[in-house]
Amino acid sequence: MKKTDDSAGAAGSNAIKLKVNGTARVFDIDNTKLPDWIEKLALKSDRYPYDKKLPQQEYEKTLETLQAELVKLQAWMQKTGGRVLALFEGRDAAGKGGTINAVRQNMNPRSARNVALTKPTETESGQWYFQRYVSQFPTSGEFVTFDRSWYNRAGVEPVMGFCTPEQHAHFLREVPRFEKLIVREGIHFFKFWLELGQEMQLKRFHERRHSPLRNWKFSPIDVAGVTKWDDYTEKRDQMFERTHTEHAPWIIVRSNDKRRARLAVIRHVLLNVPYPDRDLDAIGKQDKLIIGEGPRFLAG
């Protein structure tokens, strides 16, 4: 018999019935009190390897060191015309925006920009699917990040019914060829997937909903998506199977602790773009418990 936990309190208009690791739960996003079961399980959800977050002081010191290396990388790019394109994908509340901000925080904004596209216009809907993304690609000397990307068609769109099954299947066939063109063009191309545990997602949604500064980040589609965890997992796994390639691998980052995730992402970029005067001792080694390549890492 499945367990049930209604510890969120009296159900309100946004009370959601869902299963979390096989247990039936009721989660009321409007209740200001976070349920005890979420608080207890959030950090360790999805087999996260650490019991505590990285200490703030250690994080800030390491981040400053890595950001100084990013400034050196950007100076080399501007001198040589190098181009970097990094896209960030993951479930809602995985920390994509915060990670991108950590990457770009001390870079020159004139040549380091972020792209976060809204839903396609009527004109864009009639174009080649990749067209509006290509128009945002980096020019000489630019470092461009995408907060979500063409991979909307691999996750959000098929799960929420925003594309047809035929469009989804066509996308999965074409995207490896499309990304091979990016790499052949000489662009340093990164695909980051920020992995998030289910209880941690619920905790972050709750924080957004009740924050006077960040409640704009919580939307009705977030509520709808909470009950579709398994659907998103299925589409994620299919996406990895079809689009993880040697020329454009998925880099998966366990992101229950945002601090460790941000450092891992920056390190990966610095270790994979061979700019001169790179200080490998300052950059340090990757935490292989946090970051890895492809679906095998996720399954391990």
Give me the pLDDT at residue 11, please: 46
Give me the pLDDT at residue 13, please: 56
Domains of the chain: 1-41 (no CATH), 55-299 (3.40.50.300)
234: its two tokens: 């299925």
User: How many whole angstroms separate alpha carbon 100 and alpha carbon 113?
Assistant: 10
Each residue's pLDDT tens digit, 20-37: 888 899 899 889 999 999
Kindly state the DSSP code that residue 53 receives in the 8-state scheme. Answer: P
**Are the C-beta atoms of 263 and 63 separated by less than 8 Å?**
yes
**Are the C-beta atoms of 277 and 72 separated by less than 8 Å?**
yes
**CB burial string 127-160: b at 16+ within 10 A, e below:** eebbebbeeebbeebbbbbbbbbbbbbbbbbbbe
Query: Look-up: residue for tokens 């001390």?
Result: 106
Give me the pLDDT at residue 6, please: 47
Residue ranges for the chain with pLDDT beneath 50: 1-11
Give me the pLDDT at residue 16, please: 84
291: its two tokens: 């970051």
35: its two tokens: 């349920």
**Amino acid identity at 16:** I
201: its two tokens: 């997602």
Each residue's pLDDT tens digit, 242-264: 999 999 999 999 999 999 999 99
Sheet architecture: strand order including 188-195: 112-115, 143-147, 84-90, 188-195, 250-254, 291-293
